[in-house]
């Protein structure tokens, strides 16, 4: 971890402690990713995830609208969710590229709020077959989190990640509506 990542995490923990002891009721809100706060998203991702994201990733995020949100805990950026729409065999699927929260803020409902936003988005749209994501095989807390929301491990991809160990990833999926059987649609 770089010195700037350590400092970012330390300052987040200090701010967290001051909010926790101030007697205020915590507020969790989601906000848009904009050019003005994109650097906060980059720093957050550097601290939370063991992989690096390129400039194209962040350029695409700026155009993602409701599929990219920052999570604020008492007005401080502590998490983010970034998704994209994939189409496979004519079925629309939502891919969760990142969903993460700074360690001092976990287990406070922030991840759930971000995932519920994603679930509400696909429900309102009504035309998604499934939601899926990749999770490093040793990240049991993330696996357990997604299972609480109805996701299942459907595949394990060996050597999915580059330059991190373990390199294998589980594919977790939540089926939203069954795949139409071609024979049924021809009747």
Name the active-site residue from 95, 121, 160, 161.
95
State the pLDDT at residue 118.
98
- DSSP lists the bridge partners of residue 153 as 172
Question: To 5 degrees, how large is the angle CA 102–CA 174–CA 52?
Answer: 35
Tens of pLDDT, residues 61-109: 999 999 999 999 999 999 999 999 999 999 999 999 999 999 999 999 9
Name the active-site residue from 105, 134, 146, 170.
134
Please give the sequence-ordered ranges of beta strands (E in DSSP) within the chain, or none if there are none. Answer: 28-32, 68-73, 76-88, 91-101, 130-136, 152-157, 169-175
Nearest to 115 by CA among 126, 99, 103: 99
Determine the topology of domain 28-175 in CATH. Answer: Aminopeptidase (3.40.630)
Where exactly are the structural domains of the chain? 28-175
Residue 95 is among the residues annotated as catalytic for this protein: yes
Residue 94: alpha-carbon gap to chain centroid: 12
DSSP 169: E
Over residues 125-131, the mean pLDDT reads: 96
**Alpha carbons 102 and 98: distance in angstroms, whole number:** 13
Dihedral, 93, 153, 179, 183 alpha carbons, nearest 10:
140
State the pLDDT at residue 92.
96
Tens of pLDDT, residues 3-51: 555 545 555 554 554 445 455 688 999 999 999 999 999 999 999 999 9
């Amino acid at each position: 971890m770089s010195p700037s990542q350590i400092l970012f995490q330390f300052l987040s923990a200090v701010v967290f402690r001051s909010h926790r002891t101030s007697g205020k009721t915590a507020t969790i809100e989601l906000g848009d990713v904009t050019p003005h706060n994109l650097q906060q998203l980059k720093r957050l991702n550097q601290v939370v995830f063991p992989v690096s994201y390129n400039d194209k990733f962040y350029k695409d995020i700026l155009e993602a609208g409701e599929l990219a949100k920052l999570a604020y805990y008492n007005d401080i950026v502590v998490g983010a969710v970034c998704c994209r729409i994939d189409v496979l065999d004519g079925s629309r699927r939502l891919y969760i590229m990142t969903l993460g929260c700074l360690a001092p803020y976990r287990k406070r409902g922030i991840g759930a709020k971000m995932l519920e936003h994603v679930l509400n988005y696909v429900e309102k749209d009504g035309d998604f077959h499934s939601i899926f994501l990749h999770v490093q095989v040793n990240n049991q807390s993330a696996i357990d989190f997604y299972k609480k929301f109805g996701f299942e491990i459907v595949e394990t991809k060996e050597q999915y990640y580059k330059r991190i160990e373990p390199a294998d990833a589980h594919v977790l999926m939540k089926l939203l509506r069954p795949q139409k059987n071609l024979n049924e649609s021809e009747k």
